[in-house]
Amino acid sequence: MAVRKFKYRLEKVLEFRERKVEQLQAELALAIRDRDTEVAMLNALSEKRQKAQKSLEGYLARGEVAEVQQTNSFLENMTKKIESQNRVVSKMNENVELIRKKLVVASKEKKIMEKHKEKKHEEWKIEQGKLEAKELDEMAGTIFRKNLAMKMLAQEEEERRQEQMEKRMLLAALKAKKKKKI
């Protein structure tokens, strides 16, 4: 019996889908890292704004008009930067979600292929079992026929031996009868 190895005919498609999932996982990790960097920048800007706000309150309490005007300008500038950074973070979040959705779809496609491969492997196992059973049946039939032929040869040999014994006995009886007549 020859040992046969399972070969999935759509293996290249499965490998392609696996690579696609791995690529999207890497893209997602990169997008999350970039987004986290942008969120950190947004947080830093917010902290600067809060510190400037506290400074403004101190300047107002002390009556430092020039510092108040300069801090107000700084706060307006920071507000614009924060709004801009919020838009950047929002776009980064959309990008992360888009990649995440693509990854979910690619993972489902990969899982479908893996299930198909498992199903085909089970079908192959069943077919292999049938082929092995057929081969075993053929071997058993061959052995049975061989044993039957050996028994028939042995029986024919025994019949020949019996015939020869009977002939010898007849010849011996005829000789004995002739001797009695003489």
Question: pLDDT tens-digit profile of 70-128?
Answer: 999 999 999 999 999 999 999 999 999 999 999 999 999 999 999 999 999 999 999 99
- Report d(CA 136, CA 95) in Å as an integer: 60
pTM summary value: 0.67
DSSP labels, 143-171: HHHHHHHHHHHHHHHHHHHHHHHHHHHHH
Residue type, 47: E
- Helix, coil or strand: residue 9: coil
Provide the pLDDT for residue 178: 77
* Residues sharing a CB contact under 8 Å with residue 98, sequence separation 6 or more, in sequence order: none
Question: pLDDT tens-digit profile of 130-145?
Answer: 999 999 999 999 999 9
Question: Is the pLDDT score of 3 beyond 60?
Answer: yes
Residue type, 69: Q
Centre a 10 Å sphere on the Cβ of residue 78 and count the other Cβ atoms it contains.
19
Provide the pLDDT for residue 6: 87
Mean pLDDT, range 39-53, rounded to an integer: 94
Mean pLDDT, the chain, whole residue set: 92
Provide the pLDDT for residue 68: 87
- The count of residues in the chain is 182
Provide the pLDDT for residue 170: 86
Q: What Rg value do the Cα atoms of the chain yield, rounded?
A: 48
Question: Is the pLDDT score of 61 beyond 60?
Answer: yes
Q: What is the CATH number of domain 11-181?
A: 1.10.287
